[in-house]
């Protein structure tokens, strides 16, 4: 990719940061050029979040310097970061959903008329100009709560451009987007680079990095383990730099599925979300659910876990019909769920790692056995390689991959026989994925069964025994995972080539 200007606009030198005894960053060097996409990758806990928080002014480094547009700082305040032209677009959208598109763009910097009142017409006109310049199709009058996740991410970028940002830091911006939405978002990023905007792009999706990146810097254990020109490197080399060894994008795993059917779903429906869903799940089977975001996969899982009440249909669990009216009822039946939105639905953010892991065990046992739960939690923390300062640490302060492993540990302490994994490795690094996959394989070898929703096609193909494809709230295909290609899956997802 050619750049209008290859001049360096940001240079980080010798940046270091410790939290207690934990070294988050160790003498990190990093630079950025105008008009480039410089990707930042690494396992959870490698130091990516700390680095971008320092650039955003949310954390103070212990040593090192930051030079932005010729001005050198030992640290940046949030105001200095903005004044330096740095804008951070986080994975969790930071917009006021009850306000309109235009109101969000101008929030805190409103256009006012001569009487001091907000000039809504001027703001709407300016918003339209900004949106047109970026080829973003949004209505300035639309409330943000009516926008899709992809539209909200695009709006965050437009807002940053209104603030005259020259450097945009994007943290996992496509984690919640579907296949077509990702394509549109990556086109928007390419548009930004033609305007000499520079982008620091953080993603666990290496395919995205190789599509839009110019350079990639790998962090491992708080240190830079390599910086590569995308055109001159490979996925294997970047992966090796991230985790210190090779790893295939596609796993090869033993198949342990038995003939015995443990779950039968017949004509399941949920008003306005899905209908006519029928499938069987066997003992020791991983049944994958694929399809574009919004096709109804997660809604099916919510009904099976009792989080939503079905409109019609039957659920047969271990040979008898059950009415799962609440998550508590599902847990009592031996059904566990690891939700997609772990922050909102899976975690007690302000509570400790111990409390989050032991809560289901405590629900099943009327009396608390503190020493027993501590021992069980410590065993799982070791087995799953959950990186923390100890079981007393607040779970909200752990990295995303370690939070996900903590939720998995919670259910491993339960007596569950059916595990529902909704996007099990979303926002999780390669090393943490490996741990989660290993536990899933252990579960099916023990005779447990798994329903797995995933938007990651290599994950669907390599981890599933069979794959159910949903589209527009209907089940449109059931495929044997072996022998299915990404191309085949995408055709089913999008309805291409079907008569």
Interval 19-68: pLDDT, tens:
877 788 999 999 999 999 999 988 766 788 899 999 999 899 999 999 99
Express each pLDDT in 372-383 by its tens digit.
Answer: 556 666 666 666
- How far apart CA 421 and CA 2 sit, in angstroms, is 42
Give the domain extent around 348.
Answer: 261-494
pLDDT band at 283 (very low <50, low <70, confident <90, very high): very high
Q: How far is CA 95 from CA 90, 104, 229, 423, in A?
A: 11, 7, 34, 24
Same-domain pairing of 266 and 224: no
| 391 domain residue, yes or no | yes
- How far apart CA 267 and CA 90 sit, in angstroms, is 39
> Is the pLDDT confidence value at 359 over 80?
no
Same-domain pairing of 183 and 319: no
Same-domain pairing of 51 and 187: yes
Cβ atoms within 10 A of the Cβ of 323, count? 11
Express each pLDDT in 91-145 by its tens digit.
Answer: 666 778 888 888 888 887 778 888 888 888 888 888 888 788 777 778 888 888 8
Same-domain pairing of 121 and 202: yes
Same-domain pairing of 212 and 300: no
Express each pLDDT in 410-455 by its tens digit.
Answer: 766 667 899 998 888 876 666 667 778 888 898 899 899 999 998 8
User: Regarding predicted confidence, which is higher, 371 or 255?
Assistant: 255
pLDDT value for 435: 77
Q: Provide the total of helices (H) and of strands (E) in the chain, helices listed first.
A: 16, 20
* 176-200 average pLDDT score: 81
pLDDT band at 349 (very low <50, low <70, confident <90, very high): low
Query: Rounded to a whole number, what is the distance in angstroms from the first to the last CA of the chain?
Result: 40
Check: CB of residue 271 under 8 Å from CB of residue 450: no
Q: Which helix (H) or strand (E) holds 267?
A: strand 261-270
Q: How many folded domains does the chain comprise? A: 2
Same-domain pairing of 222 and 325: no
User: Regarding predicted confidence, which is higher, 87 or 384?
Assistant: 87
pLDDT value for 364: 45
pLDDT value for 311: 94
**Average pLDDT value over all residues in the chain:** 81
* Percent of the chain that is helix, strand, coil (3-state, to 5): 35, 25, 40
> Is the pLDDT confidence value at 150 over 60?
yes
CATH of the domain at 474: 3.40.50.300
Q: Look at the block and give the residue holding tokens 């099943």.
A: 364
């Amino acid at each position: 990719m050619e750049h209008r200007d290859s001049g360096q606009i940001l240079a980080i030198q010798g940046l270091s940061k410790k939290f207690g005894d934990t070294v988050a960053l160790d003498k990190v060097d990093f630079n950025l050029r105008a008009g480039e996409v410089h990707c930042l990758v690494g396992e959870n806990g490698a130091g990516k979040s700390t680095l971008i928080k320092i650039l955003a002014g949310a954390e103070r480094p212990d040593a090192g310097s930051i030079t932005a547009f010729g001005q050198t700082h030992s640290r940046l305040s949030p105001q200095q970061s903005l004044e330096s032209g740095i804008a951070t677009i986080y994975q969790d959208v930071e917009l006021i959903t009850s306000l309109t598109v235009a109101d969000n763009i101008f929030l805190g910097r409103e256009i006012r008329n001569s009487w001091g009142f907000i000039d809504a017409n001027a703001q709407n006109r300016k918003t339209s100009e900004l949106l047109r310049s970026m080829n973003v199709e949004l209505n300035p009058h639309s409330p943000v709560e009516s926008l899709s996740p992809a539209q909200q991410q695009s709006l965050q970028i437009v807002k940053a451009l209104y603030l005259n940002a020259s450097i945009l830091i994007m943290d996992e911006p496509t984690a919640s987007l579907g296949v077509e939405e990702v394509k549109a978002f990556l086109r928007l990023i390419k548009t930004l680079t033609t305007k000499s905007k520079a982008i620091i792009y953080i993603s666990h999706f290496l395919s995205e990095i190789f599509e839009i990146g110019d350079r990639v810097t790998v962090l491992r254990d708080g240190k830079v383990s390599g910086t590569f020109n995308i055109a001159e490197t490979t996925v294997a080399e970047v992966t090796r730099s991230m985790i210190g060894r090779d790893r295939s994008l596609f796993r090869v795993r033993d198949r342990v599925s038995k003939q015995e059917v443990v779950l039968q779903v017949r004509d399941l429906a949920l008003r306005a979300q899905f209908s006519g869903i029928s499938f069987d799940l066997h003992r020791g089977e991983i049944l994958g659910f694929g399809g574009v975001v919004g096709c109804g996969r997660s809604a099916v899982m919510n009904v099976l876990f009792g989080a939503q009440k079905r409109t019609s249909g039957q659920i047969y669990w271990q040979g008898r019909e059950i009415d799962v009216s609440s998550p508590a009822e599902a847990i009592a039946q031996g059904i566990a769920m690891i939700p997609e939105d772990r922050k909102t639905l899976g975690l007690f953010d302000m509570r400790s790692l111990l409390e989050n892991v032991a809560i289901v065990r405590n629900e099943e046992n009327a009396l608390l056995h503190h020493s027993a739960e501590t021992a069980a939690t410590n065993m799982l923390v070791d087995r799953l390689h959950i990186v923390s300062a100890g079981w007393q640490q607040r779970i909200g302060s752990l990295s995303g991959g370690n939070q996900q492993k903590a939720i998995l540990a919670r259910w491993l302490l339960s007596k569950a026989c059916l595990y529902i994994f909704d996007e099990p490795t979303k926002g999780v690094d390669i090393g943490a994925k490996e741990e989660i996959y290993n536990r899933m394989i252990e579960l099916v070898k023990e005779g447990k069964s798994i329903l797995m929703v995933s938007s990651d096609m290599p994950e669907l193909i390599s981890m599933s025994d069979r794959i159910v494809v949903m589209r527009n709230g209907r089940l449109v295909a059931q495929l044997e995972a072996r022998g299915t290609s990404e191309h085949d899956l995408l055709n089913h997802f999008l309805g291409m080539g079907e008569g």
